[in-house]
Amino acid sequence: MLRKRGCCCSEEGCSSEKKLKAVGKESGNEILNGITNGVAHDRTKEETVLARRKLIASEANDLALQIADTVTGNTEHICVEGAYHGNLRSLLQLSTYKDTPMGLHSIVAPLPDVYNGKYKDPDNAGMLYAGEVKKLIDKASSNEKRISCFIMESLFSCAGQIIPPKGYLQAVYKYVHDAGGLCIADEVQVGFGRVGKYFWGFELQDVVPDIVTIGKPMGNGHPVAGVITTPEIAKRFSLTGVSYFNTYGGNPVSMAIAQAVLTVIKEENLQQHANSLGEYLLHSLLELQAKYPTHIGDVRGVGFFIGLEIVKDRKSREPDSQLATRIITRMLREHRVIMSVDGTNNNVIKFKPPMCFDKENADYLLECLEECFDNQENM
């Protein structure tokens, strides 16, 4: 939201901003110029920023793949259609989100989309989509290919704000483990309380991943990312002798900032806030759908992770990418609200506001959206 200025929160001088400024002042100046690498002293500000930006979530996912390959001794990665996991070569070759001339080097499972996908009955879609993953694993093993890992965002953001159907991950994780692979949950967009009810997105599916990758919200704008795994997998990885080091890994500035973010999330009950305000937003968007039934095909979401699927008409569910784009363009130009459109058909308007997004912001957003739908013929 662009209505107010401040840090990446909406409130100027809010306590999160003050805490982060304090960390920046105390740790940033002292630690960055002093302790980190010892070379920070004679760097220009620009060079230092560039160097710190190397700590990105793409590296976390790349490391997760390395760990899976090394520990299992297998080579095949299973990814889900439309997913995005980062911009390193290893990840571009893994996902179908961006076309890459380097080609796809992964096994791509169908997106478990109950609105526009192959299986639409929410009661059995989870098992049916998981069955598709099983078929792919069986096909790979009949070709002598062994599964290293299955990687998935716990809720699909780039693929169109898709909430996986009930039971999907439990079944998939079992098939992958039976085949000797590891399960990686990419929580780069959805972790840190965004889904409201839980701190991590995978908890919605009642599973425990072998590896979890984190980034973006971890630093509230500061570049910091991480890989979490079990002590056993970490030990097996280190015993292989493959060494992993990173010049800026674990640097005190980033760690202090990540710690401050955790403190703010806890002290300001931001997870509970995402839960209650997310419910209000979802409910209000369903009312908007009832008012504009032709073009709002689906409203889905949890916490501060909501999608509005824009269609030509509700019956055919034919995606209307142009209308979705016109709406977000008007939202920006007329109302100064930044939103984005994504999904495999580029027709899903995404809602992923900052955690400090408040009721006033939500009402403003809803008012502006209503204005856009009212004026859709003139856009």
The rounded distance, in Å, linking the Cα atoms of 9 and 219 is: 13
Tokens of 251: 């640097």
- DSSP for 206-237, written as a single string: T---SEEEE-GGGGTTS---EEEE-HHHHHHH
Give the list of residues 6+ apart from residue 265 with CB closer than 8 angstroms, or none: 192, 193, 271, 355
Least Å from the CB of residue 216 to ligand PLP: 6
Q: Which is nearer to ligand PLP, 57 or 68 (CB)?
A: 57
DSSP SS3 for 81: coil
* Residues binding ligand PLP (CB under 6 A): 56-58, 61, 84-86, 153, 158, 186, 188-189, 215
Q: How far apart are CA 275 and CA 302, in angstroms?
A: 8
Q: In what order do the strands lie in the sheet with 340-342?
A: 296-302, 305-310, 348-351, 340-342
Q: In the bound complex, what is the minimum distance in angstroms from residue 131's beta carbon to ligand PLP? A: 25
For the CB of residue 248, give the shortest distance to ligand PLP in the complex, in Å: 14
Pick 119 or 198: Cβ nearer ligand PLP:
198
Name the token pair of 193. Answer: 């309380």
Choose between 78 and 158: whose C-beta lies nearer to ligand PLP.
Answer: 158
Q: How far is the CB of 292 from ligand PLP (least distance, A)?
A: 29
Shortest distance, position 55 Cβ to ligand PLP, whole Å: 9
Instruction: Pick between residue 106 and residue 189 the one whose CB is nearest to ligand PLP.
Output: 189
Min dist. Cβ of residue 225 to ligand PLP (A): 6
Nearer to ligand PLP, 190 or 323 (CB): 190
Smallest gap from Cβ 121 to ligand PLP, in A, equals 27
Paired residues of 107 in beta bridges: 78
How far is 224 from 285, CA to CA, in rounded Å? Answer: 33
Q: How far apart are CA 107 and CA 282, in angstroms?
A: 34
Residue whose CB is less far from ligand PLP, 295 or 300: 300
Minimum distance from residue 53 beta carbon to ligand PLP (Å): 9
Euclidean distance between CA atoms 368 and 329, whole angstroms: 12
Report the residue number, 86 or 126, with the smaller CB distance to ligand PLP.
Answer: 86
What residues are paired with 183 via a beta bridge?
A: 150
Residue burial 334-366, b: 16+ Cβ < 10 Å; e: rest: ebebebebbbbbebbbbbbbbbbbbeebbebbb
Cβ proximity to ligand PLP, 94 vs 128, nearer residue: 94
